[in-house]
Chain A
């Protein structure tokens, strides 16, 4: 035992020496060698509960690469997708990202769960490799001052702005009710909406949380009704929205009810039935809402025989804007691509024109309203570039 203790003690001492001598040796391992295919990494959940969404994202990326290679990019070099499974998990995601970096990807376009994308972008940013997020709306992703992080989808706080403006400017409501369900996403959206409503000069007369899964919201809604709001914004999830709508209808609440993007689900219509008519959600445009995505949707369907998922157009745009940046930089160097991405000007993406602000977010992230009409969600309104409310379709 004594012997072993001494031996292990020596081991620890040696380890400490090695530890100190090894510090600082953490250079970037990504990068391009100037020949062969240009590699773009795509991290997405390919196992676990979200595997379907992940596969959809990878498919969209491959579709984009097919188009890019047909058109030709840089000195006749081909673009290649390196896909990697991040399992929607921080630990797997960081390993996946380090794996991508050893495979010499020049950039990454992808991600799904914010919990995985946040640590993944820490690693790519350290390595100087740009990461374009296609589906993660968490504010933190672009709020950390990381130079190499971009995204093609809007962020949670932009939705609250959109929702508040819709109620106050479009519906001309002076007093609104905001209802959340105490989950982080829901509460965050509700609080930000309340703040913007105030900024726009209107009042939030009712602000409270339901208990998710409670089934009976009548007394809650009666209380809300007594404050006489002119619009109601519900930031919870679709599972509760159906019953909420139904019971509001029974109580004779006839002011517009708007839901956050977590309510963009047919279950709401199924549960509420006729009471769902007129229910409006604030959401990123669904693929079939946007004229510019029509070609993408049909190309996707031709290629894979199935409809694209909600984030496929954003991933398609992410890969395309990356190719555009590579072409403008005339280089496959990660830092030069990053510079070019920051300089992107009105790139015509299928989800609309793409410009990145200094944080890497889209300058005018597009939100639309979707309205239930005849038992289905149809396009409602959106804000155009000059701030006017126009039809969302087109």
Chain B
């Protein structure tokens, strides 16, 4: 489950234990000379499963997309190479990129239309995909039907035939290293953090600037490409591809590599592959009759003894805090201080027959702090959800700095300069504090897959700058000393501050805070007021929903009151407090109810998440 720390873990242990790493490398290199042909053959298969494990680790371990049909991509790669070489005589080396491409297309085809599904449904779809590929291969003529395709040719490198056990061992070892390095580069980059954030909480990831659908499809494509490479080598090594090699059991075995080894860890993947491919062969010496039974016993015992895997990613996060901080410049916008920056006109939201918002107008000037108050279920969070693209309003306009935001996805809204926090601080709890902040920068980073994969200088510079800016924001909210802890380990007050830092990391023009002070004690509230004051002083426009009147009155120049989905009134804190309608609708409410706040508070897009104003009025 842990993320980036794979190679870092290796690196750290390497500092302490360079000898053990060296011994490991020597054993890997010398293995075919020590072992006979049979054990070298087992070694090849272990290494192929290392490659497959690295691939499924991206999909399942990082992006959190349970894939029960991963062998489909393995099959696609194998068949592509086998058919091109076997039936058309294409040069073997040429088929490698083609196999990767076809597997990538397969990943996209399975990924894109299905990624809107929830994870358990997605698992069923992948299961179906795996079966479809196998059954199709079983029935098509050009895939050789149940007989499969035979590869008569062997790849040749510098005049050497590469199909022998030993040469294949070294070839697959190189591939495993290359894939391992590539996967590590990706998972340590913005892309890896995006995958993890989607795994942790997809809706929040989207709302803080991660293009979640694209990120998930990318995980499938990368996973597909890796399995495609493995498939091409598998086909070449075995000399035949047939549907029986790509069953549901194959998918499960590949999944086991990650489950047994430990998710998100390179060493874990290696150990997992060793267990999954090595144990059945070791058990041959005990007897064929008991082989599979004992293999199952070994797997069960391992899962009992090490439920997180043999070598899970370390508990301390890898990403370190940058040594120095860099303050990001406030983004340019063609709006003078005090002029309207965010304009909402006629905002109306209907959930079925329920009118959640009715013709709400809001204007926020640049540099202003606007408070939004109203009784429970009045529609305050729905305003935030409509404005940030979480739900699409039934009618109305939302304009930020002259640009309409209607129809934008939440991550696009973040890109255009509006960030938000959540009630109850929904953090990426299994990621570190600094990684949470880095995810908030996704919308401002430009590196793509290839630059991240190759760690090109531009990408590295961008990552370093992001690290320094993350340091700045953590200094800003006072969390630098806790930067490498897991988000879930923070105190409640710290979690709220991290939520704000994550939103600030996108360097927004407008920051929307949803009940930032809820559940805080007076001293925490005082700290928070001071923090919001500093945010305003940077020139960031702040809109905050809050129930604590003293908090609102102390911070805001202007307050907007919403009741039953409509704007009741608007004015200075003093004016609002004197308004008899407000007193009746809101201030008369017993403060004791505060703890029960917010049935409407979630990011939820449906009416289930929104309490009808009529139900809560007069509570």
Q: Does B291 contact A85, Cβ atoms closer than 8 Å?
A: yes
Given A11-B25, A90-B244, A115-B148 in contact, is the A98-B41 Cβ separation under 8 Å? yes
Interface residues of A in 317-370 (CB under 8 A from B): none
Q: A84–B158 contact, CB under 8 A?
A: no
| Stretch in contact with the other chain, from A181-189, A196-204, A274-282, A305-313 | A181-189
Q: B42: which A residues are within 8 A, CB to CB? A: 95
**Is the C-beta of B449 less than 8 angstroms from some C-beta in chain A?**
no
Across the interface, A20 reaches (CB within 8 A) one of B11, B32, B158, B239, namely B158
Complex CA distance for A23 and B11, rounded to whole angstroms: 32
Within A12-57, the residues touching B (CB, 8 Å) are: 12, 14-16, 18-20, 22-26, 29, 46-48
Of A5, A11, A46, A96, most buried by chain B (CB within 10 Å of CB) is: A11
Contact of B41 among A14, A84, A94, A144 (CB under 8 A): A94
Question: Cβ of A94 and Cβ of B164 under 8 Å apart?
Answer: no
A8 at the interface (CB under 8 A from B): yes
Chain B residues whose CB sits within 8 angstroms of the CB of A83 once the complex forms? 288
- C-beta contact mask, A101-138 vs B, less than 8 Å → 1, else 0? 11000000000011110110010000000000000001
Tell whether, in the assembled complex, residue A95 and residue B41 are in contact, meaning their CB atoms are under 8 Å apart. Answer: yes
Known: A4-B10, A47-B288, A91-B45. A115 touches B244 (CB 8 A): yes
Cα separation A182 to B140 with both chains bound (whole Å): 9
**Interface membership of chain B positions 224-262, coded 1 if the CB is closer than 8 angstroms to chain A and 0 otherwise:** 000000000010011111101100000000000000000
Residues from chain A with a CB closer than 8 A to the CB of B145 are 183-185, 187
Q: With an 8 A cutoff between CB atoms, is A89 at the interface?
A: yes
Q: Does B579 contact A (CB under 8 A)?
A: no
- Residue tally, chain A, CB below 8 Å to B: 53
Please determine whether B38 and A182 come into contact, CB atoms closer than 8 angstroms.
no
**Known contacts A23-B161, A102-B38: A184-B238 contact under CB 8 Å:** no
Question: Is the CB–CB distance between A29 and B37 below 8 Å?
Answer: yes
Most buried by A among B11, B145, B160, B240: B240
Across-interface contacts of A85 in B (CB, < 8 A): 284, 288, 291
Closest-by-CB residue of A relative to B10 is: A4
**Which residues of A lie under 8 Å from residue B170 when comparing CB positions?**
15-16, 18-19, 22
The stretch among B58-66, B171-179, B362-370, B484-492 that forms the contact with chain A is: B171-179
Known: A23-B160, A23-B164, A184-B144. A89 touches B245 (CB 8 A): yes
Q: How close is B177's CB to chain A, nearest CB, in angstroms? A: 6
Measured between alpha carbons, how far is A183 from B243 in the docked complex, in Å?
13
Interchain CB contact under 8 A, A114 and B147: yes
A92–B240 CA distance with the chains assembled, in angstroms: 13
With contact pairs A4-B14, A99-B38, A115-B148 given, residues A23 and B284 touching in the complex (Cβ less than 8 Å): no
Whether A140 sits at the interface, judged by CB under 8 Å, is yes
Interface string of A68-99 (1 = CB under 8 A from B): 00000000000000011100111110111011
Q: What are 21 A-to-B residue pairs whose CB atoms are below 8 Å? A: A8-B181, A12-B178, A15-B170, A22-B166, A22-B170, A26-B37, A46-B288, A47-B292, A83-B288, A84-B288, A85-B284, A90-B240, A90-B241, A90-B245, A94-B238, A99-B38, A115-B146, A115-B244, A118-B150, A144-B152, A187-B141
Known pairs A20-B160, A26-B164 / 8 extra A-B pairs, C-beta < 8 Å: A19-B167, A29-B38, A47-B292, A90-B148, A115-B245, A118-B148, A182-B139, A184-B145
Q: Which residues of B contact A (CB under 8 A)?
A: 7, 10-11, 14, 21, 25, 29, 32-33, 36-38, 41-42, 45, 138-139, 141, 144-148, 150, 152, 158, 160-162, 164-167, 170-171, 173-174, 177-178, 181, 234, 237-242, 244-245, 280-281, 284, 288-289, 291-292
